[in-house]
Amino acid sequence: MTFDVVFLGTGAAVPVPSRGTTSQFLDIHGHTFLIDAGEGVQLALRNNKRRFQKLKGIFISHMHGDHVLGLPGLLSTMSLLGRQEAIDIWGPPELDAWLRHTWGSIQAHMSFEVKVHEWSPHEVQTLHEAGHYRLRSIPVKHRIPCCGLRVEEHSLPWKLSGQKAREARLPFHVRQALKRGEAIGFEGRALKPELWCTPPRKARSYVYSADTRPCESLRIAAQGATLLYHDATFNNADADRAKSTHHSTTTEAARLARQAEVETLMLGHVSLRYKDLDALREEALQEHPNVVLAKDGLLWRL
Ligand SMILES: [Zn+2]
């Protein structure tokens, strides 16, 4: 089962050749999504050999240009290439009117339906659920309404040994309980799932903080994540700037990752002003043992 994220653009507000504005390509169980659409996202997708005509949906975290300016162009190209299938877009309240106004002024006609859904800036919401995974929006703390995203697999069933179950003549409801990982009484005995089943592979989860100050809602939503991509726009020395611009520092990102017990922290949205990115990673390593730097073009398999 695929669960890949390709980091198309990992820089902050101003793009440079090595670090574009924010966008990520997600492939979960063969379904593909785009997370944010910074300027240049079409070329980033092409350069990374990712197909955009099959995208099921697009998540937009907030209305700052480095997260959204690539969207009208991308959708227009999809239309020029003859897309027919409707697309779901989840984003802030202003998004729908802005898109329609932009297309109106350049007289673009879309060949497919663009369904824009507003996420709530106040509560965690399930945006999309299919088969064995779901996408949930997480309100975070930025200068304007902003949401992060949690992508997670449902917990997987335990694998019951069919032969053992048949030999012991376990009835259906007992088998089902064991597959859910629950202990259950049967004929005066307590059956433990670990003696009857193989435990499942751990359900994986990816959390995207978007642009934010460290906040409680994100800490809760990031709990136990396999990978957390966190805003780390500034280093420790520039903590005041992080506060005044509603972003986070390396240390703040890593502290939240530690509190939320995430497996791996990825530092992203790093400001152009820093040339020595390893020094940023060193700061974060003081708080969390597993820190990687986001990089344009990086493919991460969860
Ligand atoms: Zn922003």
pLDDT digits (tens), the chain, 302 positions: 899 999 999 988 888 888 899 999 999 999 999 999 999 999 999 999 999 999 999 999 999 999 999 999 999 999 999 999 999 999 999 999 999 999 888 888 899 999 999 999 999 999 999 989 999 999 999 999 999 999 999 987 788 888 888 888 999 999 999 888 889 999 888 999 888 888 888 899 999 999 999 999 999 999 999 999 999 999 999 999 999 999 999 999 999 999 999 999 999 999 988 988 999 999 999 999 999 999 999 999 99
Separation of CA 104 and ligand 1 centre (Å): 26
The full set of domain ranges for the chain reads: 3-156+201-301, 159-198
CB 160 within 8 A of CB 177: no
pLDDT at residue 278, rounded to an integer:
93
Measured in Å, residue 208 CA sits from the centre of ligand 1 at 13
| CA gap 112, 185 in Å, rounded | 55
Distance from C-alpha of 258 to C-alpha of 232, rounded to nearest angstrom: 15
Contact 188, 224 (CB under 8 A): no
Q: What is each CA distance from 146 to 83, 195, 299, in whole angstroms?
A: 29, 46, 25
d(CA 256, CA 217): 11
Q: What is the pLDDT of residue 251?
A: 97
Residue type present at position 57 = G
Check residue 234 and give its pLDDT.
95
- The predicted structure's pLDDT at residue 162: 84
pLDDT at 16: 81
pLDDT number for residue 155: 81
What is the structure's pLDDT at 147?
98
Provide the CA 237 distance to its chain's centre, in angstroms.
28
Annotated catalytic sites, by residue? 66
* β-strands 31-37, 23-28 pairing: antiparallel
> Both ends of the chain: CA-CA distance in Å?
10
Please tell me the distance from the alpha carbon of residue 149 to that of residue 218, in angstroms, as a whole number: 9
Asked if residues 256 and 223 have their Cβ atoms less than 8 Å apart, the reply is no
**pLDDT computed for residue 88 by the predictor:** 97
Distance 165 CA to ligand 1 centre (A): 55
Amino acid of residue 199:
P
Block residue for tokens 């400001």: 271
Measure the CA–CA gap between 41 and 63, rounded to whole angstroms: 16
In this prediction, residue 72 carries a pLDDT of: 94
Q: How far is the CA of 231 from the centre of ligand 1 (A)?
A: 10
Has domain 3-156+201-301 been given CATH number 3.40.50.300? no
DSSP 264: E
According to the model, what pLDDT value does residue 163 have?
86
pLDDT value at residue 161? 83
The DSSP element (H or E) to which 301 belongs, if any, is strand 298-301
The answer to whether residues 209 and 139 touch, using CB atoms and an 8 Å cutoff, is no
- Ligand 1 centroid from CA 30, angstroms: 30
Q: Cα of 191 to ligand 1 centre, how many Å?
A: 52
